[in-house]
Structure 1
Amino acid sequence: MSHRITAGLDGSDADRACADWAAEEAELRGADVDLVHVEDWPLSAPFAVPLPESRRSWTEGLLARARQRLAREHPALAISTRRIDGLATADALASAAADADLLVLGSRRLGAVAGFFIGSTGSDTIPRTETPVVLVRAAAESPDGPAEPAGGDGPVVVGVDLRSNCDRLFAFACEEAHLRSCPLVVIHGWSPPPMLAYVPTLDPGVEEEIADRLEARLRELLSPWARKYPRLVIDSRAVIGQPAVQILEAASGAALVVVGRRIRRSALGTHIGPLTHAVMHHATSPVAVVAHD
């Protein structure tokens, strides 16, 4: 890692929230901030299109204004800017963040029901990088411009699947909670096997017994991290219900929500699972997507 936070700016209303979150995270980590804008004009034959000077000036102005504002608000922070030319924005962003601690991108609100618009850039970039990607929402519009990043002063919430290797998720989530001096809430959502659908009627303690076993397994997996972060308050929960719904309920007012993405080497198949997809689009707090085996 290079102790650098890369923030991708595209000129949208979410840029301010994205840059602000990246700067605050960089201060927590003692890292630098790298503001990046990708020009996706085709620059090579047979589709060569000269880059208009006005477009270049717009890009340079976008980056300069963002840098100047962050420098005023975070005078001790080292801030760099880069304009990257490339055909594929997602590939360019993934490459720019290859050795960064984090890649931060903005997302925009569609509405109370529709949730948030991640856009093709975010959805395309996440599968192309193993660097954790944080999606930051703008809380609301204000007369002076986009508001501060959405999120609260609550805990870091991480959703885990006990059938997967959770080490990368635990490592990231524990460090984020440690940096913020806030609690860590670990959620595993589960549903009883269909064959047991009628058992609770005969024995109401069956579901409770299953939940106790899952919580014990969760505490066992978390025990090395509890020893590594002895001052960290960890609240682990194995709860009945759709995992995405349980994570979203626990994440109300969270400082950060952490979900995983299984690394898939094949170009075929889904690269962002349904749980992660749902949390990305409906959580109001910033969402970190962490790649894992």
Structure 2
Amino acid sequence: MADYLLAAIDGSAPSIAAARWAADEATRHGLPLRLVHAQTWLDDLHADPGQPADVRALTTRMLSDAKQAVQVTRPSLEIRAELIGGGEPVDVLVDAAADADLLVVGRRRRPHHHVGMRLGPVAHAAIHHAQSPVAVVPHD
């Protein structure tokens, strides 16, 4: 293990809740926290179509906002925020967390059409493919 916790950030309230939970755990165990956003084509949906460079600025600001949200309650915690591209979000997160002590993802509240589908696709895939333990934090 590399002695850090990794929280997946996508800009949603559940991912911020997961980051805060991860910060509490990191503090309890005396470990640094990595906040990671897996940049994908979905980020383009939030950017101005006439400004392609705006995508990186938006995702960088999203990570910065997440870091600030965590630092409010954990000002002495060592936090590193990273934007990682190059693949499907779950693959990027699983690779980034390969030597983490824990991968933390948020869970969105969603209508459950099927009893077995209580997790979103990223959380579900992370649980099945990550080499590190995975914590799924509900947004309740």
**TM-score bracket, shorter-length normalisation:** 0.7 to 0.9
2: CA distance between counterparts of 1:129 and 1:112? 24
Residue matched to 2:134:
133
Instruction: Assess if the C-alpha contact under 8 Å between 1:94 and 1:128 holds in 2.
Output: yes
* Cα displacement string for residues 87-136 of structure 1 (whole angstroms, at most 9, x for unaligned residues): 22111101100111000000011259978852111112222212000000
Equivalent position amino acid for 1:61 in 2 = R
1: CA distance between counterparts of 2:134 and 2:78? 21
Structure 2: gaps (5+ residues) = 42-50
Residue matched to 1:102:
102
Instruction: Assess if the C-alpha contact under 8 Å between 1:34 and 1:79 holds in 2.
Output: yes
Q: Residue 71 of structure 2: SS of its match in structure 1? A: helix
Residues 1-293 of structure 1: matches in 2 within 5 Å?
1-41=1-41, 52-110=52-110, 117-139=118-140
* Cα displacement string for residues 33-58 of structure 1 (whole angstroms, at most 9, x for unaligned residues): 100000123xxxxxxxxx92121111
1: CA distance between counterparts of 2:12 and 2:68? 18
Q: Residue 26 of structure 2: SS of its match in structure 1? A: helix
2: CA distance between counterparts of 1:95 and 1:12? 22
Report the count of equivalent residues: 131
2: CA distance between counterparts of 1:121 and 1:86? 16
* Cα displacement string for residues 167-215 of structure 1 (whole angstroms, at most 9, x for unaligned residues): xxxxxxxxxxxxxxxxxxxxxxxxxxxxxxxxxxxxxxxxxxxxxxxxx
* Cα displacement string for residues 139-158 of structure 1 (whole angstroms, at most 9, x for unaligned residues): 1xxxxxxxxxxxxxxxxxxx
Structure 1 runs of 4+ aligned residues shifted over 6 Å read: 112-116
2: CA distance between counterparts of 1:9 and 1:25? 16
Q: Supply the RMSD in Å over aligned alpha carbons.
A: 2.3
Distance 1:112 1:62, change over 3 A: same
Q: TM-score, normalised by structure 1?
A: 0.42
Distance 1:74 1:124, change over 3 A: same
How far is 1:70 from its partner?
Answer: 1.6
1: CA distance between counterparts of 2:120 and 2:97? 19
Instruction: Assess if the C-alpha contact under 8 Å between 1:3 and 1:29 holds in 2.
Output: no
Q: TM-score, normalised by structure 2?
A: 0.84
Q: Residue 123 of structure 2: SS of its match in structure 1? A: helix
Instruction: Assess if the C-alpha contact under 8 Å between 2:99 and 2:131 holds in 1.
Output: no
Quick check: which one's strand share is greater?
Answer: 1
Q: Residue 104 of structure 1: SS of its match in structure 2? A: strand
How far is 1:60 from its partner?
Answer: 0.5
Bigger radius of gyration among the two: 1
Equivalent position amino acid for 2:138 in 1 = R
* Cα displacement string for residues 54-105 of structure 1 (whole angstroms, at most 9, x for unaligned residues): 2111110111011122222111100001100022211110110011100000
1: CA distance between counterparts of 2:52 and 2:19? 26
Equivalent position amino acid for 1:36 in 2 = V
